[in-house]
A and B are shown apart, each in its own frame.
Chain A
Amino acid sequence: MDQGEPQEIRHQSARFADGLMLDCGVQLPELVVAYRTYGALNAACSNAILICHALTGDQYVGENHPLTGKPPWWDQVVGPGRPVDTDRYFVICTNVLGGCMGSTGPSDLRPDGRRWGMDFPPITIRDMVRAQKKLVEFLGIDRLFAVVGGSMGGMQVLQWAATYPDHVFAAVPIATAAYHSAQNIAFNEVGRQAVFADPDFNGGQYYDTGRTPAAGLGVARMVAHITYLSEEALNRKFGRRLQDNDLLRQGGLALFGDIFQVESYLQHQGSTFVRRFDANSYLTITRAMDYFDLAAEHGGDLPTAFAGTPTRFCVISFSSDWLFPTAESRAVARALNRAAANVSFVEVETDKGHDAFLLDEPDLHRILAGFLAGCARHAGLAT
C-alpha cells in the first residue's frame, strides 16, 4: 500500500486461531477472513448467497468502497430489488485469502514480526475456498443457497461445488473456466515481471521503504485491463481518437506523451489501481489463478469433479470474452452434463468483452434473477 493513504481502515473480519492448512503443505498459523454481509439471514439459515470476487475485487460488493469512495463493484447485481436481492437473500462477500483488504495476505505481519512479502506461501483457489468455508460456518450456515462469481470468482464457484457439493444448493460460474489457459498464464506473467522489474519492489519488502512498486503494478494492470476488453469495445470507446493537446492541434507529431485516448485511459486504470492494491497480493492471487485446474484434482477428468452433485448450475459466458471464451464455459457445462448434473448454460451476446459481467448487461441480470428465483422455488425458500 502507498504510504500516506488512509490505510488504517478497520475491515470487518473473523479470526481463526487454528489457522489454515494450505495445498502447498504450509500451515498458516492464523487465518483472518475479512467479509461484509448484506440483508438478513432467515431463521432456517437457508437464504445465504456467497459472492466470490475476481482478481482485483474485494468484499465491498454492496456498498461504496471505504478506500476509494467508488460505488459498489457489483452495484447492478447485488442490492435491494437487484438480481441478488438483499431484501430476500443474506449476501456474504469475503476478501480472498492472499488479498489486501483485511484477509490474511502477504502484507500481513508474520509470526516473526516482519511482513510476509514474497515469503507468503503460494496459495490456490481451493485454499481461498477453504477459508471462505470457515467463515460461512462461523456465520452459522451449513448450506449456502447459492455461490455466485465471475472470472476468478467463477473459479471459486466451481471449486466450491466440487469441494463442498452438499453445502451448495446452486452455483453460478460466470465468464470463467475450469483451468487457467496458457494464454492467460502468459498475460499474468507479463504483469508479474513488470512488478519484479520495478526497483521499488525491493524483493517484495517495500512496506517499510516508504515506496511501492507503483510503476510496475500499474503496467501489470494496464496489460491485464486490455484482456478484460474486446477489440470492438476498444474501438467503440476510443477508436484512433487523439487527446486534446496543443502540439497535436497544431498538426505536430510527438513520439511520447499523451497522444491517443486509449493510452490515457489505460494509464488512468493503472494509476488508480495501484492506490488500492498491494503488489504482493497481486503476485499471490495471479499465481493462484494460474495453478487452477479443477480436472487435475480429479485425475484429469472434469466430470469426476462433479460426480453425483446435487447442485443446480447456471453457467454463463459472454460472446466477446476472449480471456475466458465461451468454449471454456461450454466445456464446463458439458462436463456437468456428463456428471448428469442439473445445468443451465447461456452465452450472453455482448461486445463488452470479459468485463461484461461487471457492466450493464440486462440479459445477464435477467438470467441471474430468474435462475435464482427458480432455485428458490426448488429449495422451498419463501418468496
Chain B
Amino acid sequence: MAKKMRLDLRLIAEMVPPGARVLDIGCSDGALIDELTRTRGCDARGIEIDMAEVTRTVARGLPVMHGDADSDLEHYPDRAFDYVVLSRTLQAVERPREVLRQMLRIGERAIVSFPNFGHWQVRWQLLWSGRMPMTSVWARPWHETPNIHPCTIRDFFMLCAEEGYAVERWLAIDEGGRKSPWRRFSSLANLFGEQALFQLRRISPAIAKAPKA
C-alpha cells in the first residue's frame, strides 16, 4: 500500500520471519498484516475492536475479526500462531496479565509494544505539578483516557519474570518509532524511552520444571 507504515510497526515486521502465522491484536487499519502478507508471505490475521476499521480493512481484502483482546483470545486453540502481536494496546485492556497469558498460549511468541509510563517527562510532571501527566504519548486527560493500565518498562520486566516469560528481545523507542540508544541499560531506557517493544517466549514447561542439579 502507498501509505507509509508506522515506524514501530516496521520494527515489528522485521522481527517476524517469513512465512510465519501471525495474529495482530488491535490491528487498526491492517497495515502490519498487509505488510507481513505481501512482503513476507506470512499468514497474518487481525482482531480489531473498532467496527469502522474492521469494515475498511476487510474491504481491502485482509482477514480481520471484530473482537477485542480481553474477550476473544480465549476462542483460539493453543499454539495456533507463531507470533501474536499487541502494539500500543496493552495499557488499554481490562486484564493485561490475562491477555499476555492468552497471547503466549495461542502463540509461540508474543510481540508487545506499549508506551512507557516511566519516561522522565511523565515522572517530572507528576512530581512538579502534582497532576496526572499529559505528554505527546499520554495525550488525554485522566478522565478521558482509554489507557487504564499504564506501566513502566521496569514494571513490564517484573511481570515477565513473575509469569515466567523469556524476554528474547527488547528495545526502547521514541514516539516516532526510532530506536533509542538505551539498549544496554534498562534503567536508562525506563527514563528516556517513550515506547517499549518486547519479544517474549513462554519458557517451555519442560525447562521450567527441570530439576535443580
Residue of B nearest to A365 (CB): B59
Contact assessment for A337 and B76 in the assembled complex, using a CB-CB cutoff below 8 Å? yes
The closest CB in chain B to the CB of A374 belongs to B61
Task: Assess the B55–A346 pair: CB atoms within 8 A.
Answer: yes
Whether A345 contacts B59 by the Cβ 8 Å rule is no
- Bits for B39-83, please: 1 = Cβ < 8 Å to A, else 0: 000010100000100110011111111110000100111001000
Inter-chain contact A346/B61, CB cutoff 8 Å: no
Contact of B75 among A312, A338, A344, A374 (CB under 8 A): A338
Using Cβ atoms and an 8 Å threshold, which residues of chain B touch A348? 55
Report the separation of the CA atoms of residues A338 and B64 in the bound assembly, to the nearest whole angstrom: 15
* Nearest CB in chain A to that of B52: its residue: A349
Instruction: Indicate if A168 sits at the interface (CB-CB under 8 A).
Output: no
Q: A344-B58, A346-B51 are in contact. Are A337 and B75 (CB under 8 A)?
A: yes
Q: Is the interface of B mostly helix, strand, loop or mixed?
A: mixed
If the complex has contacts A334-B75, A338-B76, A367-B55, are A374 and B66 also in contact, measured as CB distance less than 8 A? no
Q: Are A347's CB and B51's CB within 8 A? A: yes
Contacts of B43 in A (CB 8 A): 342
Chain A residues with Cβ under 8 A from B72's Cβ?
334, 337
Q: Which residues of B contact A50 (CB under 8 A)?
A: none
The answer to whether B76 and A314 have CB atoms under 8 Å apart is no
Q: Is the CB of B80 within 8 A of A346?
A: no
Name, among A348, A363, A377, the residue most crowded by chain B CB atoms within 10 Å (CB to CB). A363
A369 within 8 A of B: yes
Is the C-beta of A375 less than 8 angstroms from some C-beta in chain B? yes
A-B contact count (CB 8 A): 67
Q: Provided the pairs A337-B72, A347-B51 are in contact, do residues A371 and B61 lie with their beta carbons within 8 angstroms?
A: yes
> Complex: how many Å from CA A333 to CA B66?
9
Most chain A beta carbons < 10 A, residue from B59, B67, B75, B77: B59
Whether B66 lies near A347 (C-beta < 8 A) is: yes
B140 to chain A, nearest CB (A): 25
Interface residues of A (CB under 8 A from B): 312, 314, 330, 333-334, 337-340, 342-349, 363, 366-367, 369-371, 373-375, 377
Q: Which residues of B contact A (CB under 8 A)?
A: 43, 45, 51, 54-55, 58-67, 72, 75-77, 80
Other than the given A337-B75, A370-B59, A371-B61, 8 more pairs (CB < 8 A) read A334-B72, A337-B65, A339-B77, A340-B77, A347-B66, A370-B61, A371-B59, A374-B61
5 pairs of A and B residues whose beta carbons are closest in the complex: A374-B61, A370-B59, A366-B59, A334-B75, A337-B75
Q: List, sorted by A's number, 28 A–B pairs whose CB atoms are closer than 8 Å.
A: A334-B72, A337-B75, A337-B76, A338-B75, A338-B76, A340-B77, A340-B80, A342-B45, A343-B45, A343-B63, A343-B65, A344-B63, A344-B64, A344-B65, A345-B66, A346-B54, A346-B64, A347-B51, A347-B66, A348-B55, A363-B59, A366-B59, A367-B58, A371-B58, A373-B61, A374-B61, A374-B62, A374-B63
